Amino acid sequence: MKKMKSFGGRNLGGSSGMPGGLPKNFAELQRLQVKMEEELKSLEEAFATEEVAVEVGGGAMKIVATCDRQVKDVVYESDVLEDQEMFKDLLKAAISELWQKVDEIREERTNEIIAKYNPLA
């Protein structure tokens, strides 16, 4: 395919490699896919050690978990236990907020890697 020049002098076809153009051949695309998969696997391993914490009720309850969704600690003030209904509400709010935060972190980090290897971006 003959390369055509635009008015600005840039090539309109035959772009080689990344970023901004498609890889020249299928082997290069496969190599990039393998590299991306390795980075995603490494990211999953990192999620096991990355901790996220949330506090609710003005600090009356705190939950700590890892980004692979393993709860590490639940801390609460002793007077919170006196009202079971309040304790349940705080616990539900903390868990919901915690998982939302974990999902945001996981999505953001995963999308960064995928965007890095996306030949169409």
pLDDT confidence of residue 29: 84
pLDDT tens, position by position, 12-38: 555 445 555 555 788 888 888 899 999
User: How far apart are the C-alpha atoms of 40 and 62, rounded to whole Å?
Assistant: 30
Q: What is the DSSP letter of 83?
A: -
pLDDT digits (tens, 9 = 90+) for 69-119: 999 999 999 999 999 999 999 999 999 999 999 999 999 999 999 998 876
CA angle 110, 39, 41 (to 5 degrees): 85
Identify the pLDDT of residue 4. 56
Listed in order, strand segments (DSSP E) in 1-121 are 51-56, 61-66, 71-76
pLDDT at 43 over 90: yes
Tell me, what's the pLDDT at 2? 54
Cα distance between residue 103 and residue 111, in whole Å: 12
Give the position of tokens 């995928």.
114
pLDDT of 23:
58
Q: Answer whether residue 3 shows pLDDT above 70.
A: no
* pLDDT attached to residue 117: 83
Domain ranges of the chain: 26-117
- Architecture of the 26-117 domain: 2-Layer Sandwich (3.30)
Measured CA to CA, the distance from residue 111 to residue 90 in angstroms comes to 31
Confidence band of 65 (pLDDT split at 50, 70, 90): very high
Q: Which residues of 19-41 are buried (b: 16+ CB within 10 A; e: fewer)?
A: eeeebeeeeeeeebeeeeeebee
